[in-house]
Structure 1
Amino acid sequence: MIGSGILIGIAAGTVVASFRYLIEHLTSLFIWIFAQGKTDFLWFGLGLIMLIAICLVNGWFLKTNPEIKGSGIPQVEGQLIGLFDYAFWPALWRKFVGGVLAIGSGLFLGREGPSIQLGSTIGQGISKLTKQVGTDRNVLISSGAAAGLSAAFNAPIASTMFVLEEVYHNFSTNIWMVSLTASISSDCIATYVFGLKPVLFMKSTSLPLKYFVWIIPFAILLGIFGRVYQLMTLNISKLYSRIKFIPKEFSSIFSFLLIIPIAMYLPQLMGGGSRLILSLQYLKYPAVILIAFFGLRLLLSVFTYGSGLPGGIFLPMLCLGALLGATYGSVLISMGLVSKLYFATFVIMGMAGYFACVSKAPFTAILLITEMVGTLSHLLGLALVSLLAYLVVDILNGKPIYHSLLLQMLGKREERESITAFETIQTVFVGALADGKTVKQLSWPSGSLLIKIKREGREIVPSGETGIRAGDILIISVTGKKRQQIIHQVQTLTREN
């Protein structure tokens, strides 16, 4: 499995590094074309024709392979819990080409979600070549997802945590070890291409403890706008459903037309947001401009994602958090409440807090921003803002955005009957109902069958008298209707009350 992780990491790193390289250069090309287009109608016409062509190509891709839609993270989650599957090769090349064209055109989409799906699809392909099935196949798919994110952000530790916390929801030894192996291998490839400098490196100064009181209202602000973002993202499909005069697959034409004036007059706003984030550290925009940038990116990033184009919300979320942090920091500085020395720190904390509350993955948020910014000095502030923003969204009844998108994507498909058994991996937590019980003492949901227990490197074939204890890894076969519901019922036995 470790060997498979290295192989997946090398393959995913090569594919995603190429993906990232092409996107960056295509975006620069579009910025240049529309800069010329301000004074030369021929260049403007060329840019318009290119955008229309990209819309048509992606529309055809979405019609023939709908599984490449959006970020790809909900598809990976659904695949890992057995709710649907797809052929790896058609999805791989269409996601790659469609993602390069859509994201590279300068739309407010991120490369990270597609990179995760590209990596997971490579893992799926390698599992097919090596004839891995069941839980071993899922481990390779999840490790591919980690490798994809690692190559996109040069953040192997956070990428492994993201798979454990958000995608797979499981801390099995096999999963984290193979995922970490794949992430490190992938990061080596990406680092060779893009260098050692962190993706969002910023010069910053740690916030002193005496200023931590200002993190509380900041986290509340992030949580409120994080819940707004969740609601907008989950409901944008209703707006598109009212558009009847154009096929759904080609509704992205509106996003392409909207990006033209931005490309001509506000090119710094184009793309996923990394250029804008890096420019925020210098305190170059007044608060009113930052608010306008936030409103524009919030509306257009949600609107663009709703079109179904192969692009993600990962980096756009970080950009929105950075804009909120910059706005909040500039207000505090103008009021004389903090020194401008700490302005970049609020930008950094904004990214972590906003991602933590929208995705409901705080550990990933803390580690991700730490690796991307390239400093450990903000850990305490990142942890506090992430925890408080997470709590605010929890109070507002917010759910993890990627899982919510998965449920929305499935619709009634989850109700269909499946006769194919699916294996799920569940770890027994300390204090869980299963901890200290025998197999026969537990009320297992209908449609589930415990087939294997992994304990301290040993595999146990269970009987009714077999005891279960904290740290055990349970391999459970799930069949029948409503797999998601069955898995949730199993988790009530294996996780803390």
Structure 2
Amino acid sequence: MSDSTSTHTTHSESSEILGLNIWRLVAVAAVAGIGVGFIGGTFHWMLVHGSERFSALLEHWKADGFYGVPGWIGAALIAGICIGLARWLVYFAPSAAGSGVQHVEAVMRKEADPAPLRVLPIKFFGGLLAMVPGMALGREGPTIQMAAVIGSQCGRIFRLSKEDGFLLYTAVAGAGLSVAFNAPMAGIAFVLEEVTRKITTRSVLITLIAVATSITVFRALFGNAISFSIPTLVAPELGNLILYAILGLIVGLMGALYNRNILFGLNLFSTTMPNIPVALKAAFVGAGVGLIAYWQPSWVGGGELQVQQVLSNNFGAQALITLLIVRWLLGSISYSPSLPGGLFAPLLLVGAISGALFAQLINFIPALAFQVDTVSFALVGMAAFFTAVVRAPFTGVLLIIEMSGGVILTPGLLVACVCATLITSYMGSPPIYDSLRERMFSR
């Protein structure tokens, strides 16, 4: 190819990127981001305050009973009704079931059509009904899918081409993750690493603008508080990097098992008592979780409060082991009815517990002449376990850095996430959303 031909080709590509079409697409992405910041932030705010009110109500029922009967009856009844309603809403839009991330990925791969507008209110109210009573589900799944729907509807309103509409649908999903965790860089990484799994100038530009506008609106309306408060950390030394690598391998094995645990729960729920309506079965599960919320409120919920307690060193080894077993089982049980709820937040708690336990074990070995920081290992465990399950190491690293401010741990986070990725790949364990997407089409 001659130099003139090469120059002409480069100029044509630049014109396509910077021409009128891309400016229009960026403008639509900005509008969609504003909507995501408001709706996603409102969902987050209502979930936090709704959960606090429900917990206070349970404490009141413990003291005064529930309309003349023991309070635990009220807890089981209300939780069961709420969660049964959440699952009933999914009947009106099957694509709203579960996390929703698998459906967003299917849309990007052109295996499914974008979710209809009715998914947005179903995901919003269904997510609140499912998570406020204490189901171990994350807010990021509903927020990501609601964001994708907002992007899709903006594409239709502004009459974008089909290709640009698909691109906007998935790119704006990153704004959803950004708003869910107040983590803009993780939202960008999630789109490029997990959803699209390729980088183009167009996808990067519209993802950047959607995340920028959404997080600006979110912070303006709901504040800019960091998710987790941690003490001052020390930069990891070479010996610690070796321990982080070992932790990554251990947590990677756990992640592969956890994925199987989630799929086992889904299959068990769908095959148990198949003649009973799914919403009624979900109500039974919800009643059980309501009882746990009544008797052991520290065991239920998305997991953010428990993560903060782990990072504050409020748990000894025995309490951590108990919480790990409970959350391992509760995560699968909560996700099994395919309620509108995500996986991320519960994953972070399991990872934090695993990292803290590993550090306590190291500190318990008398032959070692040094002590390690439990908080640092808990944060690294969070990123590594997220990576093992989702198989998105860059997203995992950025997510933990933004949620905690622990940028000084970057070398340790990278080492652990690489090791977690290697061991899960060696075991042949697919990423959880790949498995969920395949299951979505096999039903």
TM-score when normalising by structure 2? 0.89
> In 2, distance between residues paired with 1:319 and 1:261?
21
Aligned to 1:261: 291
Aligned to 2:413: 382
Q: Answer yes or no: is 1:107 the counterpart of 2:138.
A: no
Contact 1:204 1:345 in 2 (8 A): no
Q: How many residues align?
A: 412
Aligned to 1:325: 355
C-alpha distance after superposition, 1:38-80 (max 9, x if no partner): 2332162544443233133223212221111000000111112
Contact 2:76 2:289 in 1 (8 A): no
C-alpha distance after superposition, 1:142-185 (max 9, x if no partner): 12201111111111111011011101112111111111111111
How far the C-alpha of 1:268 sits from its partner, in A, is 2.3
Aligned to 2:6: none
Cα 1:339/1:196, change in 2 over 3 Å: farther
Aligned to 1:481: none
TM-score when normalising by structure 1? 0.80
Return 319-328 or 277-286, whichever deviates more.
Answer: 277-286
How far the C-alpha of 1:301 sits from its partner, in A, is 0.9
> In 2, distance between residues paired with 1:70 and 1:125?
21
How far the C-alpha of 1:32 sits from its partner, in A, is 1.2
Contact 2:75 2:287 in 1 (8 A): no
Contact 1:62 1:249 in 2 (8 A): no
Mind listing any 5+ residue stretches in structure 1 that lack a counterpart?
A: 413-497
Pairs within 5 Å for 1:72-471: 72-86=100-114, 88-206=116-234, 207-240=236-269, 241-335=271-365, 337=368, 342-411=373-442
Higher strand residue share: 1
Cα 1:322/1:258, change in 2 over 3 Å: same
Aligned to 2:52: 28
- In the alignment, residue 290 of structure 2 is paired with which amino acid? I
> In 1, distance between residues paired with 2:377 and 2:222?
27
Return 395-404 or 243-252, whichever deviates more.
Answer: 243-252
C-alpha distance after superposition, 1:437-481 (max 9, x if no partner): xxxxxxxxxxxxxxxxxxxxxxxxxxxxxxxxxxxxxxxxxxxxx
Contact 1:204 1:344 in 2 (8 A): no
- In the alignment, residue 294 of structure 2 is paired with which amino acid? M
> In 1, distance between residues paired with 2:194 and 2:294?
37
Return 14-23 or 277-286, whichever deviates more.
Answer: 277-286
Cα 1:315/1:339, change in 2 over 3 Å: farther
| SS of residue matched to 1:83 | coil
> In 1, distance between residues paired with 2:434 and 2:85?
28
> In 2, distance between residues paired with 1:386 and 1:258?
35
> In 1, distance between residues paired with 2:200 and 2:53?
44
> In 2, distance between residues paired with 1:9 and 1:200?
25
> In 2, distance between residues paired with 1:28 and 1:339?
41
Contact 2:144 2:173 in 1 (8 A): yes
Cα 1:33/1:177, change in 2 over 3 Å: same
- In the alignment, residue 309 of structure 2 is paired with which amino acid? S
How far the C-alpha of 1:345 sits from its partner, in A, is 0.1
Contact 2:76 2:288 in 1 (8 A): no
Q: Percent identity?
A: 29
- Divergent runs of 4+, >3 A: 45-49, 336-341
Aligned to 1:69: 97
Contact 1:252 1:304 in 2 (8 A): no
How far the C-alpha of 1:194 sits from its partner, in A, is 3.4
- In the alignment, residue 359 of structure 2 is paired with which amino acid? G
How far the C-alpha of 1:37 sits from its partner, in A, is 2.3
> In 1, distance between residues paired with 2:207 and 2:434?
20
Pairs within 5 Å for 1:23-62: 23-42=47-66, 44=71, 45-62=73-90
Mind listing any 5+ residue stretches in structure 2 that lack a counterpart?
A: 1-24
> In 1, distance between residues paired with 2:42 and 2:87?
23
- In the alignment, residue 348 of structure 1 is paired with which amino acid? L
C-alpha distance after superposition, 1:64-113 (max 9, x if no partner): 21111000000111112222225532111111110111112211000001
> In 1, distance between residues paired with 2:80 and 2:406?
42
Cα 1:36/1:141, change in 2 over 3 Å: same
Cα 1:8/1:338, change in 2 over 3 Å: farther
How far the C-alpha of 1:123 sits from its partner, in A, is 0.3
Contact 1:75 1:406 in 2 (8 A): yes
Return 343-352 or 135-144, whichever deviates more.
Answer: 135-144
> In 1, distance between residues paired with 2:185 and 2:245?
28
Higher helix residue share: 2
> In 2, distance between residues paired with 1:81 and 1:30?
40
| SS of residue matched to 2:136 | coil
> In 1, distance between residues paired with 2:216 and 2:91?
36
> In 2, distance between residues paired with 1:320 and 1:339?
26
How far the C-alpha of 1:200 sits from its partner, in A, is 2.2
> In 1, distance between residues paired with 2:83 and 2:309?
30
C-alpha distance after superposition, 1:249-308 (max 9, x if no partner): 332223312222332232223211100001112222121221110111011111110111
- In the alignment, residue 198 of structure 1 is paired with which amino acid? I
> In 1, distance between residues paired with 2:350 and 2:218?
25
> In 1, distance between residues paired with 2:356 and 2:406?
19
> In 2, distance between residues paired with 1:348 and 1:259?
27
